[in-house]
Amino acid sequence: MRAMSVFLHDERAWVDFVLSKTALILASVVVIAAVYHFAVSMEHMDRQKELDMLSTELLSNIDKVGSSPYESNITYKFNAEHLSYLQGQQFEISISSEYVAIDTNIDGRSMISARTPAFRVYPYPPSILYNDLRSEYGTNGTIMEPISAEHKDIIGFLASRANEVSFDASEQFYIHKTFIYFADDINVEKIGYVLVYQ
């Protein structure tokens, strides 16, 4: 009985009890913080997936027109209203001869999705293309007025002229495939270009 009395009056067990409870509380805080951080990073990944989906959708329309063996036209309307995380966001769309990029700011952080087109892109309307060709080569490159130059020279010239162009996401896009005709001593050949403009 005396052993039981000594055990009941021993105050040292409280220190162990308080320390173990404190350790459990700290461990719980760490676990909750990790779960919160994981949820935030998953939301960021979902936003990036939706942004990638938008850039892929625009690029697939450009590539669809580019893959046509004939001159073709389509119109495309950028729409993010069906998305869960990016509804109501402002988008900056940039197109050059080398890439299609969509940029947005979410909570002060910039998110960007860029894709490379499979076909030659010139981010201007046909009138600018033909004026550029006429100013450089003296003809506009149509079947009636082929250019007397090597195709590498024409591609290099247009690549140097095709700067990044910003597009208004609320306006309709016009995607047009055209051909530039060039002649050597014997044959008339053509180069396909996809024009993207508003």
Q: How far is CA 127 from the centre of its chain?
A: 27
pLDDT reported for residue 171: 92
Helix axis angle, 126-137 to 151-161, nearest 10°: 120
DSSP E strands, the chain: 72-77, 92-95, 100-106, 109-115, 121-122, 165-168, 172-183, 188-197
Is the pLDDT confidence value at 74 over 70? yes
Q: Greater confidence, 42 or 137?
A: 137
Q: How far is CA 83 from the centre of its chain?
A: 15
Task: Name the token pair of 60.
Answer: 């697939």
Segment 49-73 mean pLDDT = 93
Cα angle for residues 113, 119, 123 (degrees, 5° grid): 70
pLDDT reported for residue 121: 94
If one counts every other C-beta atom within 10 angstroms of the C-beta of residue 22, the result is 10
pLDDT digits (tens, 9 = 90+) for 11-51: 666 667 777 778 788 887 888 877 776 666 677 788 888 88
pLDDT reported for residue 184: 79
Angstrom distance (rounded) from CA 197 to CA 127: 11
Is the pLDDT confidence value at 148 over 60? yes
pLDDT digits (tens, 9 = 90+) for 152-193: 999 999 988 888 999 998 899 999 999 999 997 788 899 999
CB contact set of 183 (below 8 Å; sequence gap of 6+): 146, 147, 148, 189
pTM for this one? 0.75
